[in-house]
Amino acid sequence: MQRIHNAIQLTGLSDDDLAELYAYPVRLDRPWVRANFVSSIDGAATSGGLSEGLGTPADKSVFAMLRELADVILVGAGTVRAENYGGARADPRRRRALYDRGLGGHRDGAPPPIAVLTASAAIEPGSRLCTDASATPIVITTAAAPQDRKQQLRDAGVRVVEAGDIAVTPKGLLRALEELQLRRVLCEGGPHLFGELLDADAIDELCLTTAPVLVGGTARRISLSAHEFHTPMARRHILLDDDGTILTRWARR
Ligand SMILES: NC(=O)c1ccc[n+]([C@@H]2O[C@H](COP(=O)([O-])OP(=O)(O)OC[C@H]3O[C@@H](n4cnc5c(N)ncnc54)[C@H](OP(=O)(O)O)[C@@H]3O)[C@@H](O)[C@H]2O)c1
């Protein structure tokens, strides 16, 4: 592992090195929320309307490792609809090995489920989320969401959890994840969900990829919220790839 002023060259890191660099805290007594985003150098969260347009090989490797480590992938319904989210794929041997080392993963090697936050429950039962998943997808929604939509999702094999009346508060969301015993939380966005969780001081860390590209245009940034806040963060590491990609890990101070 070659260190240059606290930065690490990605080339030469093994999967085990990466897993250690991104391990969740060992003993968790509550959900620990890690967010993962990619941004262009000029701060865009999308290119061509999707985050995929910003992905680089290094970003894809870390994205996959973060999924391997997590108990659950939390995502806002806007992202699920925009990106046509399917279930997570994971290597069962790797998930078991990570579990045995106490870094994350899963005892039986199962992939982490996707948990979608939606006030409206407006998720298509025929969408990839429901039809292309090997772990039971979870929809965290409200009592006010139309009953027929919730029933259609249940019929499509989704676990529907009501965690609020007309919206789900960050506290209600974390309580629902705790009740499901899902503590290693990987939040993959989008900007509205991330901004709301930041505003409520419910984000423990941010993994941010800066893709070596400028995109201009009117794309959003990675966090959007009703109020401005000032959350100091501490740098945990910087990984550098040869193509210019910079991968950072930031923890709440
Ligand atoms: N650069 C990146 O790494 C990255 C990552 C993710 C996404 N993205 C991009 O971001 C865009 C989508 O993000 P977005 O900000 O528009 O949407 P989002 O944050 O993914 O989802 C917003 C939706 O989540 C639900 N929601 C949020 N807060 C809620 C609450 N308190 N209670 C209940 N439901 C709640 C609502 O769903 P309902 O409307 O169903 O009620 C809301 O419309 C896409 O273009 C995607 O490609 C980029």
Strand, helix or coil at 129?
Answer: helix
pTM as predicted = 0.97
Please give the Cα distance from 174 to 76 (Å, whole number).
Answer: 14
CB 209 within 8 A of CB 37: yes
pLDDT in tens, 38-79: 999 999 999 999 999 999 999 999 999 999 999 999 999 999
pLDDT in tens, 130-175: 999 999 999 999 999 999 999 999 999 999 999 999 999 999 999 9
DSSP 47: B
Task: Decide whether any atom of ligand 1 lies within 6 Å of the 76 Cβ.
Answer: yes
DSSP 218: T
pLDDT band at 2 (very low <50, low <70, confident <90, very high): low
Task: Decide whether any atom of ligand 1 lies within 6 Å of the 205 Cβ.
Answer: no
The highest-level CATH class for domain 71-183 is: alpha beta
Rg (CA), the chain: 18
pLDDT in tens, 90-129: 999 999 999 999 999 999 999 999 999 999 999 999 999 9
pLDDT in tens, 201-221: 999 999 999 999 999 999 999
Q: Which residues pair with 116 in a beta bridge?
A: 75, 139
The highest-level CATH class for domain 1-23+32-70+197-253 is: alpha beta
Look at ligand 1, atom 7, and give the residue with the nearest C-alpha. Answer: 190
Atom of ligand 1 nearest to the CA of 195: 19
33, 39, 118, 150: residue to mutate for ligand 1 pocket, most atoms within 8 A of CB = 118
Q: Which residues pair with 161 in a beta bridge?
A: 140
33, 37, 50, 51: residue to mutate for ligand 1 pocket, most atoms within 8 A of CB = 51
Q: Where in the chain is the domain with CATH 3.40.430.10?
A: 1-23+32-70+197-253, 71-183
DSSP string, 56-90: -HHHHHHHHHHHHH-SEEEEEHHHHHHHT--PPP-
Please give the Cα distance from 61 to 153 (Å, whole number).
Answer: 32
